[in-house]
Amino acid sequence: MAEATLAGLSEQDVYLFNQGSSYHSYRFMGAHLTEREGVSGVRFAVWAPNASEVRVIGGFNGWEGSGHCMGQIGTTGVYTLFIPHLKEGELYKYELVTQEGVPLRKADPYAFLTELRPGTASIVTDLQSYRWNDSAWLQDKKRHTPYSRPLLIYEAHAGSWKIKGKEHFYTYEELAAELVPYVSGLGYTHIELMPLSEHPLDQSWGYQITGFYSATSRYGKPKGLMSFVDACHRHGLGVILDFVPGHFCKDDHGLRLFDGTPLYEGYDANRAELPLWGTLAFDFSRCEVVSFMISSALYWMDLYHIDGLRVDAVANMLNLHMDKPPHMHTYNELGGRDNLDALRFLKRLNEVVFHYYPDALMLAEDSSAWPAVTSPTYKGGLGFNFKWNMGWMNDMLRYMSLHPDERPHHHHLITFSLCYAFSENYVLPLSHDEVVHGKRSLLNKMPGSYEEKFAQLRLFYGYWMTHPGKKLLFMGGEWGQFDEWKDGDMLDWMLLGYESHSSMLDYVRALNHEYRSLPSLWERDAEPEGFQWIDVHNAQQSVISFIRRGRSSFSVVIANFSGRDYGDYRVGVPEPGDYGLRIHSGGFGFGAAALGQPDRYVAENTSWHGQDQSISIHLPPFTFMLLAPCKGDTF
């Protein structure tokens, strides 16, 4: 094609796109409002190297594209066309004619907005005119490293936190007005949103995507999402978005067989097919796919001011055999099962994100034992800065579901995590995946009576909050949602009318604020020096105690996982002086008024647990206690 077919695109842009090095390809691919020779209109660009013809169709031409054929730029596979006089709001698709002459109607892979399902057309959209008011947040973020700061994440599904009726969702603006102050008031530092990229099926929760650049229309327009993020930042909350680079859904209007050939998914069906999910894996051996997906990550940060990405299903991306029957197993060029293309992609993704956003959060949802996930790529790592600690989560939920009489025989489940707690920078996740598909809610995993369930959940939350690692809790867990998560309904907010649930909310709020106020609980999360056992061996009584240390402070934790009352329990402490009771899990909920616990303990010169000093406490059943040295008359 003649050079004029660039239609305002740079030859360098297209070259880098073909090389897998165009990290902002959304700036020229897709539909852009622009001017050409003084005439306003829309420039379209799409990658379809194996099509015999590509046309733009839409309401403006009666969905008949013979008059709007696109031109290919050389042999790059990139087709472009400028259509004058088109405006924002126009619906469009690409009509791609295969080598066999079959026309396919496809949504724009780079669409910035998509019709509300079941519609599938792309929509011309301007994303540049939103006026942000979060400059103070962005500047403050640059002054702190996330490793030595509190990180307390509230995970939310926008379509079921609250709803007005079946499929009658809150808008982004309404979520900004209600969800944001609620989460901020509870003391969280970040909101993590389950995927907001456009997806056709509500029940996929956003994990099976058709629009990797489209904020879903279920909750409104793109500028509504921008206003939500803006509100979060003004309330001191960061925003983490679930990012899904591992696969895409097979809907006809999406990426599957985009130009009549396996383009985004690759030619080997055994490698492309993900039978467990009914989706297709991206082929990261294709440079243009790498440009597409890395640009998507930066797009959410550039245009929506997203603070970080939780990268979904890393283990599945890295393992060619995961969740596949033997007859579908494929091997890399070295004869192994590692997906080397996905490995290279993840490393480059992190390198590029941190190049442009050194203060970003990149969290790996990784259930494998892959080494050095949170080590820099120049040291051989994957380059994330945090990894979900799935081992801790699985061990603790198994332990907490045991009858208390069985717990002494499984004491290792609450102690083993400290053998590897500092091998990565961890987040301790209590996510949506643990409260669906018959797994029961966190509250209902706890054994025993109604009262004992609440007592044990408070105990568990206390141990979770003081264990090394950053924190994540799925919505509803903060007040003890009794039923497991129902994605088609909203949370059972009416439960807050019951004292047991409202007290749980008070407890979580207090625990969150104590966590944030005590540097010993987060300042040295990834350092062995930040943790010290006081007593790790008391399996018979199901009691553990330990010290958390910051740079210049420490706190003491005692947790009784048994149903027995220990009236005079002695605990070693590292220094003389007074210890203030910061949190007692029994002080929230049943019997709180009769707790009768002192709020200050004086260390005695009695050696215990290898410490020179000790204190004597009353330790009721299923109790968590957090103490810190007093400073004068305060603590």
In tens, the pLDDT along 573-584 reads 999 999 999 999
Token pair recorded at residue 455: 């007592």
Mean pLDDT of 547-562: 97
Q: Domain boundary at 90, 123, 156, which?
A: 123
Angle ∠(428,150,193) on CA atoms, nearest 5: 60
**Segment 499-531, tens digit of pLDDT:** 999 999 999 999 999 999 999 999 999 999 999
Evaluate if residue 79 carries a pLDDT over 50: yes
Examine residue 175 and state whether it is found in any structural domain, yes or no: no
Evaluate if residue 3 carries a pLDDT over 90: no
**Segment 304-313, tens digit of pLDDT:** 999 999 999 9
Q: What's the pLDDT at 1?
A: 35
Examine residue 457 and state whether it is found in any structural domain, yes or no: no
Q: What's the pLDDT at 8?
A: 72
Domain interval for residue 624: 528-629
Q: What's the pLDDT at 592?
A: 42
Evaluate if residue 442 carries a pLDDT over 90: yes
Kindly indicate the confidence band of residue 143, based on its pLDDT and cuts at 50, 70 and 90: confident
DSSP state for residue 529 in the 8-state scheme: G
CATH label of the domain that carries residue 541? 2.60.40.1180
Examine residue 303 and state whether it is found in any structural domain, yes or no: no
Examine residue 269 and state whether it is found in any structural domain, yes or no: no
HEC profile of 270-337: HHHEECCCCEEECCCCCHHHHHHHHHHHHHHHHHHCCCEEEECCHHHHHECCCCCCHHHCCCCCCCCC
CATH label of the domain that carries residue 80? 2.60.40.10
Of the candidates 118, 143, 17, the residue with the CA atom closest to the CA atom of residue 74: 17
Mean pLDDT across the chain: 95
d(CA 91, CA 175) in angstroms, rounded, equals 27
Residues forming a β-bridge with 428: 471
Q: What's the pLDDT at 395?
A: 98
Whether residue 265 contacts residue 282, with contact meaning beta carbons closer than 8 Å, is answered with: yes
Amino acid making up residue 332: N
Angle ∠(389,391,395) on CA atoms, nearest 5: 125
Mean pLDDT of 226-242: 98
Cβ-based neighbours of 615, under 8 Å, separated by 6 or more? 570, 571, 573, 579, 601, 602, 603, 604, 627
Rounded to a whole number of angstroms, the distance between the first and last alpha carbons of the chain is: 75
Q: What's the pLDDT at 591?
A: 42
Residues forming a β-bridge with 609: none
pTM, full prediction: 0.96
Mean pLDDT of 6-32: 92
Q: Domain boundary at 123, 157, 188, which?
A: 123
Residues forming a β-bridge with 559: 544, 624
Mean pLDDT of 247-273: 97
Q: Per DSSP, which regions of 48-166 are E strands? A: 53-58, 71-72, 78-84, 91-97, 103-106, 122-123, 152-156, 163-165
Parallel, antiparallel, or unpaired for β 361-364 and 247-248? unpaired
Evaluate if residue 471 carries a pLDDT over 60: yes
**Segment 52-73, tens digit of pLDDT:** 999 999 999 999 999 999 999 9
Kindly indicate the confidence band of residue 7, based on its pLDDT and cuts at 50, 70 and 90: low
Q: What's the pLDDT at 10?
A: 85
Helix, strand, or coil (residue 43): strand
Q: Domain boundary at 107, 123, 139, which?
A: 123
Sign of the Cα torsion 598, 604, 607, 610 reads positive
Examine residue 82 and state whether it is found in any structural domain, yes or no: yes
Q: What's the pLDDT at 2?
A: 35
Sign of the Cα torsion 85, 66, 249, 311 reads negative
Examine residue 335 and state whether it is found in any structural domain, yes or no: no
DSSP state for residue 494 in the 8-state scheme: G
Backbone angles phi, psi at 193, to 5 degrees: -100, 130
Evaluate if residue 284 carries a pLDDT over 90: yes
Evaluate if residue 280 carries a pLDDT over 90: yes
**Segment 347-378, tens digit of pLDDT:** 999 999 999 999 999 999 999 999 999 999 99
DSSP state for residue 592 in the 8-state scheme: G
Examine residue 411 and state whether it is found in any structural domain, yes or no: no
Examine residue 589 and state whether it is found in any structural domain, yes or no: yes
Whether residue 536 contacts residue 415, with contact meaning beta carbons closer than 8 Å, is answered with: yes
Residues forming a β-bridge with 309: 241, 362
Q: What's the pLDDT at 500?
A: 96
**Segment 153-195, tens digit of pLDDT:** 999 999 999 999 888 999 999 999 999 999 999 999 999 999 9
- Cα–Cα distances in angstroms (integers) from residue 419 to residues 298, 465, 533, 540, 564, in the given order: 36, 18, 12, 21, 28
Evaluate if residue 405 carries a pLDDT over 80: yes
d(CA 173, CA 600) in angstroms, rounded, equals 46
Q: Quick count: other Cβ atoms within 10 Å of Cβ 241?
A: 25
Residues forming a β-bridge with 624: 559
Enzyme catalytic residues: 312, 365
Q: How many domains does the chain have?
A: 2
Token pair recorded at residue 510: 């207090």
Token pair recorded at residue 607: 């050696």
